[in-house]
A and B are shown apart, each in its own frame.
Chain A
Amino acid sequence: MKKITVLDVTLRDGSHSMRHAFTEQQVREVARGLRKAKVNYFEVSHGDGLGGSSLQYGFSKVDELKLIEAAREECGESAISVLILPGIGVKEDLKNAVKAGAKMARVATHVTEADVAGQHIYLSRELGLKTVGFLMMAHMAPTSVIVEQAKLFESYGAEIIYVTDSAGALLPHEVKERVAALKSHVSCEIGFHAHNNLSLALANTLAAVEAGATYVDGSLRCLGAGSGNTQTEVMVAVFDRLGYETGIDLYSVIDVANEVVAPFMPQPQEITGSSLIMGYAGVYSSFLLFTQEAAKKYNVDEREILVELGKMKAVGGQEDLIAEIAREIANHKQTVN
């Protein structure tokens, strides 16, 4: 039986949907549920990674280090992963996260900028963490570039390399091509992280696994940025039917999704017009709530803002563009009328 490691990102990617307001109690309950379901790894961090608490992305309601500590107390055999984006989080943040209980670091860069991650990947290995290189916005670069960037991660010491579809824009054949190319050009294990903006998260995850990916991300009830991620509990059931071994107990993971996570979700993770357009136009999923707010404030169509962001080739982290674009569209409309 082929083995797949499912990594749950509810307590990190879900932080976007929760406007970075997870409470310690919520984290404890989710961690306990994931432990009971025997999920090997789950991620706890601000949505934008360690050090993401800011005016640009939203302040964390509870310090992420406190949340990591709380998760550690509950996680038993499961291990805690943290995300770090060089340029936002610094090495000190990673050291503190390790003291709080992190066992895996996922170092994330835009798909063409892997060389900013060297110092963080070296540190992660030095600290004895399972170390992942995370290539975000993977739809924005051709496969040849992804391979070249993955080789950089590998040269710094990454053990696993992720194709990260931050905009939920990839189609299954594109996922397959990227994962297969990495599989044949680097010796690391390959992972895949999906967003469901085009309702393709699970299809893309299966395409990735068929092409050789052995790590895949999911979130409970899809709680993640944009339309959320591949739904962890559904993915576990599907892998079971397909004959892949995840080691996860299906009923327990369904229970934590529906009894713990669903009651605190601020809204269902539906594919709305805006999140659909994010996948269609290739926009970073965590821009969604900021776009909705700006659209309301300046009385413009959310989709217009998103399409403009796509045209500008905005990359992850450029939330500061959103209000400016919304205001420009509003001003332009006034002039035209």
Chain B
Amino acid sequence: MVKLKVAILGSGNIGTDLMYKIERSDYLSMSVMVGIDPASEGIQRAKARGYHTITNGIEGLVASPELFDIVFDATTAKAHLMHSEKVLALGKQIVDLTPAAIGPFVVPCANLKKFVMADNVNMVTCGGQATIPIVYAINQVADVEYAEIVATVASKSAGPGTRANIDEFTRTTAKAIEDVGGAKKGKAIIILNPADPPIIMRDTVHVLVNERNREQDILKAIEDIVQAVQQYVPGYRLTSAPIFNGQQVSIFLEVEGAGDFFPTYSGNLDIMTAAAVQVGNEIAKQQHETVKLN
């Protein structure tokens, strides 16, 4: 099967980490890194690994459509609006890692296949990628009336973009808890912890289910989904057994990253790039199927 050629927009931390993960994909091949700063580490690293580099941003990219089949946008929500328009005009798909959320939310393990043929798909947020699989899994066995997630990340792993737009994080995550997780009402809380050495990303999911006595089914659903997420984020795990209290279930997770470009404590960044690669793989598979059918 021919791999899809990837362009990464944004040569910052996320874009650079994504590059390493794409190198390991059976369905995607890294082709071009696009930035606006020739001196950026992401551009330097991409060049050193023999990839094309473009340093005049989206303009340079749209001028070389032969270099890519699919774009991963790791810039900012504001820039994404313009990027999306230009990439779609070329008839290519774009995976959005910013909180712009123009396209449908995709969380592998929950709704991977449903939307990947959309022109533009959005990866929600790191907290969403870490917690929505759990909400979704519980909702398959007991209706979730309310789901609340608390993502605690190391201060060092929250970049200036996240910090300046913390409201977008909470609102987007809460919405995706409902849209993708299936909760009737969603809420998201993010906490930055500056402890040194930095803490590994922690996520707590509290849900209220409308049925009692479903402990065994819920536990099984949680275990299965954790294993499913571990397929692409090996450091995703429960830190202790879920706590049941009447209608409430609390689930405690931590996410250790693969350490590709980020330090391993930045599981929040790692799960975003790992999930984006899952989406890219699925797009490649489905495009392949479509070609075969034609």
Contact = CB atoms under 8 A, between A and B. Distances in A.
Q: Specify whether A and B are partners.
A: yes
Contacts of B293: none
A112 B239 contact: no
Contacts of A87: 166, 169-170, 189-192
Contacts, number: 86
A90 interface: yes
Contacts of B50: none
Chain A interface size, as a band, is 20 to 34
Nearest to B169: A87
Contact of B166 (A112, A116, A312, A327): A116
Given A88-B189, A323-B250, A118 B164 contact: yes
A62 B151 CA distance: 26
A77 interface: no
A258 interface: no
A336 interface: no
B21 to A, nearest CB: 28
B150 A56 contact: yes
Nearest to B195: A313
Interface of B is mostly: strand
Contacts of B163: 113, 115-116, 118
Interface residues of B, number: 32
A119 B165 contact: yes
Interface string A186-210: 0000000000000000000000000
B193 interface: yes
B165 to A, nearest CB: 7
Contacts of B152: 318, 320
A47 interface: no
Given A113-B194, A318-B152, A320-B150, A55 B167 contact: no
Contacts of B164: 115, 118-119
B76 interface: no
B181 to A, nearest CB: 15
Contacts of B202: 320-321
Sort A-B residue pairs by CB-CB distance and give the 6 closest, nearest first.
A320-B204, A55-B206, A313-B195, A87-B190, A112-B194, A317-B191
Interface of A: 54-56, 86-88, 90-91, 110, 112-113, 115-116, 118-120, 140, 312-318, 320-321, 323-324, 327-328
Given A119-B166, A314-B193, A315-B191, 19 more contacts: A54-B148, A55-B206, A55-B208, A56-B150, A86-B167, A87-B191, A90-B167, A91-B167, A112-B155, A115-B164, A119-B164, A120-B167, A140-B194, A312-B195, A318-B152, A320-B152, A320-B202, A323-B250, A327-B240
